[in-house]
C-alpha cells in the first residue's frame, strides 16, 4: 500500500469519527440551542456512541462478506445524510436522530482499518494499521480545533454541514482511487459471520484486549467529553475556539505514538501496552490540576493521548494477526468495547462534573485507567508461562515437564504468544508437542463441508 492510499484511508477514518466527536467542544452551545439540560449534554456525544455500537454488531461483519471498498463508500454517503439532518435540526430529537444515524454508519472506520489490514503484507500490517488508525485520533482531536473555530465564526451547525460535504467527497474518491481487494477463499455468508462474531467473546485474548479497550476509552471519553465544561466555567471562561485549541495538544501526543505499529511488528506489543497504561494513569495527576494550571493540563493531555494511541494500535495489531481470515469481524467485536467505554465516559463525566466538579471527573478518569492497567497485569501472568514452553527444541518434551495441549506452536501456545505480542511459531512435524487443532474455525468450512457451503 502506497503513502497516498494510506493517507486517503486515514482521512476516511478522521472524517467518520469526527461525525461522532465534533460535538465535544460545543456541548454547551448545542445544549442551549436545542433545549437540552446541562447535566444531560453528555448524551449528545453518547447518542452517536450507541448508534456506533449498533453499527458494530450489524454492519461491520458485512466487511467479511462483500467488497469493502464499496462498503466504505456506501457508509460515507449515509453518514453524510445523518450530518445533514443534524445541521438542519430545529428540535433536540431531530439532532439526536441525525447523530444516531451518523453513529451507526461511522463504523466505516472499522471497515477501513480491516481493508488496510487485509491488503497489507504481514511485515507491514502494523505500520499500515498505525497510519490509518492515526486518522481516528486526528479526527477526534482535530475536530475539536476545527469545530471550535467554525462554531465561533458561523455557529455549531456549520461544523456538521462541512462534515456532510467531506463525507460525500471521500465516498466518491474511495470508489475512484482504491482497488478492490483480492480474497483468498470463497465468500462467507453474513449469518455465519455474525455467529462467528459472537464466538469471539468466548476467547481469552480477545476478551483481555477488549476489556483493556473498554477502560482505555472510558478514560479517554471522560477527558474529552467533559473538558469543555470546566474550561468554559470560572476561572478560565474560555471561548469555544480557544477550547478547541486544546485538541492540538492531543494531536501531538497521538502522533507521538505513530511508531506503535512498528513496535507491534517487532513483537513489542505487550510491554508497550503495559508502559502506555501506566503512563495513562499518571497523566490524570496532571489533568486534575486544570482549575489551577492550564500548562499542567496540556502536559497531561499529551501523555494521555500518546498512551491511548499506543495501546489502541497494539490491540488491533495483535487481534488481526490472530484472526487474518475474519479481520472485519474481529475489529468490529473489539470496537464494541471501545464504543461502550467511550459512551460510559461521555455520559458519566458530565454528571460527575455537575455534582462534584473537575475533581470528580479526574478521579473517574484515573479509575478507568487503573482498571485497564489491572486487566493487562492480571492477563499477563498466565500466558507468560505457556508462551515460552521448552518442548519445541526437540522431538518431545523435556523430562519432567508436561507439554500442554498444542505446545508452543499449537492452539493454546499460539494464543499465549499472541496475547504477549510475540511472533507466531510453526508447529514441528514430529514429537509429542506437534498438534493440529481438532476444533474447526467458526468461519472456515470443515473438511466434510464443500467450499462455499456453510450449513
- 243-289 pLDDT, tens per residue? 877 878 877 777 766 677 677 767 777 888 999 999 999 999 999 99
pLDDT at 64: 74
pLDDT at 187: 61
> Averaging pLDDT over each range in 92-106, 124-138, 173-187, 332-346, which range is the top one?
92-106
Q: How much is the pLDDT for 135?
A: 81
Residue of higher predicted confidence among 79 and 392: 79
CB count, 10 Å around CB of 77?
16
pLDDT computed for residue 404 by the predictor: 43
> pTM of the entire structure?
0.66
**115 vs 198 pLDDT, higher one:** 115
Confidence bin at 302 (pLDDT 50/70/90): very high
pLDDT tens for each residue of 57-93: 788 778 777 888 889 999 999 999 999 999 988 888 8
Mean per-residue pLDDT, 373-400: 54
The rounded distance, in Å, linking the Cα atoms of 186 and 386 is 35
For the chain, how many residues are written?
455
Question: Residue 183's pLDDT band (boundaries 50, 70, 90)?
Answer: low
Least confident of 8-12, 49-53, 121-125, 226-230: 121-125
CB 356 within 8 A of CB 379: no
Q: Please say whether the beta carbons of 225 and 141 come within 8 A.
A: no
307-355 pLDDT per residue, tens: 998 898 888 888 877 777 777 778 778 888 987 898 899 889 988 998 8
Sign of the C-alpha dihedral, residues 134, 310, 252, 217?
Answer: positive
Q: Are 124 and 1 in contact (CB under 8 A)?
A: yes
**What average pLDDT is seen over the chain?**
77
Grid cell at residue 277: 497504561
3-state secondary structure at position 135: helix
End-to-end Cα spacing for the chain: 36
pLDDT band at 39, cuts 50/70/90?
confident
pLDDT of residue 342: 85
Amino acid at each position: 500500500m502506497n503513502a497516498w492510499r494510506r493517507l486517503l484511508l486515514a482521512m476516511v477514518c478522521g472524517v467518520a469519527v469526527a461525525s461522532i466527536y465534533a460535538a465535544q467542544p460545543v456541548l454547551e452551545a448545542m445544549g442551549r440551542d436545542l433545549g437540552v439540560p446541562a447535566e444531560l449534554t453528555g448524551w449528545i456525544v453518547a447518542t452517536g456512541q450507541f448508534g456506533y455500537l449498533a453499527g458494530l454488531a450489524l454492519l461491520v461483519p458485512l466487511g467479511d462478506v462483500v467488497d469493502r471498498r464499496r462498503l466504505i463508500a456506501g457508509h460515507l454517503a449515509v453518514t453524510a445524510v445523518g450530518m445533514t439532518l443534524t445541521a438542519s435540526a430545529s428540535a433536540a430529537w431531530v439532532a439526536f436522530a441525525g447523530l444516531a444515524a451518523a453513529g451507526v454508519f461511522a463504523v466505516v472506520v472499522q471497515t477501513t482499518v480491516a481493508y488496510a489490514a487485509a491488503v497489507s503484507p504481514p511485515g507491514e500490517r502494523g505500520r499500515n494499521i498505525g497510519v490509518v488508525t492515526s486518522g481516528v485520533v486526528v479526527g477526534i482531536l482535530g475536530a475539536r480545533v476545527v469545530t471550535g473555530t467554525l462554531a465561533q465564526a458561523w455557529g455549531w451547525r456549520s461544523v456538521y454541514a462541512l462534515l456532510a460535504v467531506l463525507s460525500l467527497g471521500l465516498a466518491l474518491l474511495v470508489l475512484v482511487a482504491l482497488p478492490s481487494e483480492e480474497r483468498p477463499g470463497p465468500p462467507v455468508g453474513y449469518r455465519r459471520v455474525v455467529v462467528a462474531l459472537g464466538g469471539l467473546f468466548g476467547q481469552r485474548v480477545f476478551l483481555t484486549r477488549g476489556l483493556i479497550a473498554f477502560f482505555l476509552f472510558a478514560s479517554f471519553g471522560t477527558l474529552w467529553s467533559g473538558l469543555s465544561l470546566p474550561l468554559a466555567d470560572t476561572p478560565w471562561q474560555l471561548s469555544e475556539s480557544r477550547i478547541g485549541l486544546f485538541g492540538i495538544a492531543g494531536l501531538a501526543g497521538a502522533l507521538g505514538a505513530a511508531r506503535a505499529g512498528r513496535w507491534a511488528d517487532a513483537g513489542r506489543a505487550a510491554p508497550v501496552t503495559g508502559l502506555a497504561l501506566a503512563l495513562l494513569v499518571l497523566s490524570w495527576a496532571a489533568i486534575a490540576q486544570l482549575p489551577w494550571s492550564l500548562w499542567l493540563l496540556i502536559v497531561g493531555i499529551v501523555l494521555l493521548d500518546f498512551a491511548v494511541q499506543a495501546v489502541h494500535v497494539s490491540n488491533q495489531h495483535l487481534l488481526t494477526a490472530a484472526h487474518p481470515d475474519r479481520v472485519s469481524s474481529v475489529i468490529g467485536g473489539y470496537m464494541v468495547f471501545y464504543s461502550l467505554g467511550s459512551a460510559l465516559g461521555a455520559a458519566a463525566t458530565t454528571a460527575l462534573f455537575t455534582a462534584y466538579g473537575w475533581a470528580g471527573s479526574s478521579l473517574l478518569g484515573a479509575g478507568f485507567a487503573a482498571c485497564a492497567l489491572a486487566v493487562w497485569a492480571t492477563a499477563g501472568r498466565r500466558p507468560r508461562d505457556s508462551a515460552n514452553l521448552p518442548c519445541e527444541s526437540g522431538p518431545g518434551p523435556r523430562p519432567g515437564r508436561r507439554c500442554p495441549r498444542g505446545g508452543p506452536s499449537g492452539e493454546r501456545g499460539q494464543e499465549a504468544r499472541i496475547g504477549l505480542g510475540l511472533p507466531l511459531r510453526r508447529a514441528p512435524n514430529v514429537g509429542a508437542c506437534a498438534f493440529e487443532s481438532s476444533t474447526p474455525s467458526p468461519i472456515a468450512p470443515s473438511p466434510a463441508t464443500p467450499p462455499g457451503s456453510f450449513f
